[in-house]
Amino acid sequence: MPLFASPGCGGGTFHEAPATCRARPPTAGPGRGGAMIPPRLAALGRVVAIGGGTGLGRTLRALDFLGERLVGVVATTDNGGSTGWIREQAGGIAWGDIRNCLNQVVAQPTLGSRLLEYRFVDAGALSGHSLGNLMMLALDQLSPRPLYAIDLVRELLGVELRLVPMCESASHLAARYADGRPVRGEMHLDAMTEVPAAIWLDPQVAATPEAVQAVVDADLILFGPGSFMTSILPALLLPDFRAAVAASRAPRVLIANLHPERGPVGLLDAAALLRWTREVLGVAVFDRVLWPASRPGPELEGVEVVVAQVAAGDCLFHEPALLTQALERCLADEPD
């Protein structure tokens, strides 16, 4: 979605230009690096991937041949590191995971992508902070909506797929222990010693309308990989977004991590995790789980398990090319 600056300098505001349809027609053929695009994935009109940071970035890279038919819905509740410091100082949504996803799907490194990932060194109070996060904050302050700031960076980097923040208002994860003790903020939730008895957004906010519409239009909905409680779950805590996912007839696939998680969710096996998710959300949101062949496969009731090789050796992250093949298998198992 092209954006342009209003006349004038300094305090100009970015506005949305008239939208044009640039989505490529469904077709199989060579993708990134010359790899062949699986035909079932290539035929999809809309794919939505939900998560945050590194894990979602791997999924987006695996499917970037879809161009504008691919929408990433990114978690915006992080409160740690450079992102957390910026939120303390200026408020707003968390920019770190959005920045990370953008850089992972850049086809060729550019000066813009290098600046987006640059962290200050020997710069006093700025040391360790991300220039990209500050750039996103500045563009947000110049734009009517955070979504428009993201679209501007996406255009500058030549990224075709769409990235949408799960919400455009500041909110944090909050939870409660079984004995009633409250916890607020992702960092504190990660440090919990037991699985939360309840989890919610504080304050409760509305989902970004484009995120909800993407789910309504989706032919395939993917979750993860990544931290379940702090990357995958936040968007599902938005009532309007959760309702759209629950009502969707598209396959809803949870991409399992290569290794067990740390933190409270790591205390649960796959079956217990799905039961806990249904309890806290009130609805079932997964039809199947894509499980790595490197881990013993779980037995799940009411959810199909597709076991596939998604990484080579002891790799810590999903390999995009292998993930593409595994997701094609998930669709191949769809009844006609």
CATH classification of the domain holding 269: 3.40.50.10680
Phi/psi at 15 (nearest 5 deg)?
-125, 160
Contact 189, 196 (CB under 8 A): yes
Question: Would residue 3 count as lying in a domain?
Answer: no
Question: Would residue 187 count as lying in a domain?
Answer: yes
- Domain span at residue 281 reads 28-332
Question: Would residue 13 count as lying in a domain?
Answer: no
Question: Would residue 7 count as lying in a domain?
Answer: no
pTM equals 0.89
Question: Would residue 44 count as lying in a domain?
Answer: yes
Kindly state the tokens that stand for 213. 């519409």
* Angle CA 67–155–157, to nearest 5: 90
Question: Would residue 111 count as lying in a domain?
Answer: yes
Cα–Cα distance, 332 to 117 (Å, whole number): 37
Picking from 49, 79, 68, 50, the residue whose alpha carbon sits closest to that of residue 2 is: 68
Count of structural domains within the chain = 1
Question: Would residue 2 count as lying in a domain?
Answer: no
Question: Would residue 4 count as lying in a domain?
Answer: no
For each of the chain's 336 residues, which pLDDT tens digit applies? Answer: 333 333 233 333 333 333 333 334 444 455 555 567 899 999 999 999 999 988 999 999 999 999 999 999 999 999 999 898 899 999 999 999 999 999 999 988 888 889 888 999 888 888 888 898 999 999 999 999 999 999 999 999 999 999 999 999 999 999 999 999 999 999 999 999 999 999 999 999 999 999 999 999 999 999 999 999 999 999 999 999 999 999 999 999 999 999 999 899 999 999 999 999 999 999 999 999 999 999 999 999 999 999 999 998 778 899 999 999 999 999 985 544
